[in-house]
Chain A
Amino acid sequence: MHKVAIIGVGCSKFGEMWDSGFRDIVISAGVEALEDAGLEGKEIEAMFVGNMSGGRYLAQEHIAALIADYAGLAEFNIPSTRVEAADASGGLALRQAYMAVASGVHDIVIAAGAEKVTDVGNPMDIMISSIDKEWEGFVGATLPALYAIIAKLHMEKYGTKEEDLALVSVKNHKNGALNPKAQFRKEITIETALNSTYVAEPLKLFDCAPISDGAAVVILASEEVARKYTDTPVYIEACSQASDYLAIQNRKDILTMNSVVVAAKQAYKQAKIETKDIDVAEVHDSFTIAEILAYEDLGFVKKGEGAKLIREGVTELHGDLPVNTSGGLKACGHAIGATGVRQAVEIVLQLRGDAGKRQVNAEKGLALNIGGTGATAIVTIFSR
């Protein structure tokens, strides 16, 4: 297997981008990545795109071809592939790109993630097709409702409090304020979070990430090729993916995302590291409870002790293990298919020392991208 490096990253602003269409957003992120890598564009051999639902948000399928076209890459007839796993589509694209380079099939590959959600009236209606529509959706469950059921049991069994969930939101907003690309750039107080309206008890408005427009691009190259383009490659030490039962009623234990546990274990093993070696992490806080679960399922703490980490400030920007320095999905925004790639962009910036005001000291980073309520998880470990 070849060692895989990231030689360029780019990211659009995340948010409600009324003036930008899907093509505008993707191309802006892509050009930024090409500039970052010092490429013209013709060096790209293949592209993998994560996009959850061009079909329902834009009535547009064949997304990969569309992006290749507007990126000027259809000019060279490169293979362009779209992959989908709900809001883990970006992580999937990253992994497909990683495997293409690691296997030696290609030397320089783009992993992109993009979603344009604001051209429809209610983006959340489409977002919830990540759940089991037939058996969970039919009975009136929404995506927040399913995470809320998990949160309620976590609170009952482990004593996690609504305050702990609010602390996650406060931290991520604080970090987002330092991220020029973030959708929400204002700090919030714990009172604001706690007093916000219930979406599905116990989760409130500030426990739920927005659905946003956005795109992110990373350019992967084999180690040898990477040396031609950059002195600061960031290596992907591992990129593991796992699945779990789709409907939460079929999970062995709804408080553990087995997809995350398994993907994380495989990633640590391949990267030859332990959890204590991780210096910075981007996790999938589509809902605040998901971040607390991530602390546990990634092995940062034992099952049930996730709330402790946030209470003790361990995962704050300047804590022992900063999590979601970008602002996370909550404050940076959640552009569904783009998120997995955006997380990679953040880790790369951190490891390169290019994270501006939110810079932390990190040699190894981790990104966790989840689909829906956890039926898909991708764990990627990066190092400098």
Chain B
Amino acid sequence: MLPRFWRKIKYRYDLVGSYCENCQSFFYPPRNLCPHCRRRSKIKEVPFNGKGKVLSYTVVHDAPEEYKDEKPYVIALIELENGVKVLSQLVCDPKEVEIGMEVKKAFRKYGEDGASGIIYYGTKFVPAGHF
């Protein structure tokens, strides 16, 4: 997982996505090719504003091995201000999550490759009023 994780850290540590200058669309996760323009794509990297709202969510109770420490945790589909949708963990008391609530990005640990392996960091979200 090492080179594979490292290759994308710029796009995981922060919300850096893609923008097609040809059709003015935004994408996350980042893309090599604009799905609307294909060969006529003019893809640029752009950082996205970390604010959004919850479109839908779930509370995961049956967690994979690497996330057992954190269950139950919230996975949310979040719509950013530019319309791009992002799937992410929402660090919040499950009872307090609501569709439509405002959230903002946070830098958190996503896991590790065992006790002696590298640590995976990335972007999660927290309620907008969180400090």
Residues of chain A having any CB pair with chain B under 8 Å:
122, 125, 128, 132, 134-136, 138-142, 144-146, 148-153, 156, 197-203, 245, 247-250, 254
Contacts and interface: CB of A to CB of B under 8 A. Distances in A.
B85 to A, nearest CB: 4
Nearest to A151: B58
Contact of A140 (B28, B55, B64, B99): B64
Interface in B17-32: 27-29
A140 B56 contact: no
A140 B67 contact: yes
Contacts of B55: 153, 254
B57 A140 contact: no
A136 B87 CA distance: 7
Given A141-B87, A142-B60, A149-B87, 6 more contacts: A134-B8, A139-B122, A140-B67, A145-B75, A148-B60, A150-B56
Interface residues on B, range: 20 to 34
B-side binding surface: helix, strand, loop or mixed?
strand
A200 B85 contact: no
Contacts, number: 97
A200 B62 contact: yes
B56 A198 contact: no
Interface in B60-74: 60-65, 67, 70, 73
Nearest to A148: B58
B87 A201 contact: no
A201 B35 CA distance: 32
Contact of B85 (A128, A138, A146, A249): A249
Contacts of A122: 65
Contacts of A152: 56-58, 99
B67 A200 contact: no
A191 B54 CA distance: 31
A276 to B, nearest CB: 32
Contact of B58 (A128, A156, A200): A200
Interface in B29-83: 29, 35, 55-65, 67, 70, 73, 75-77
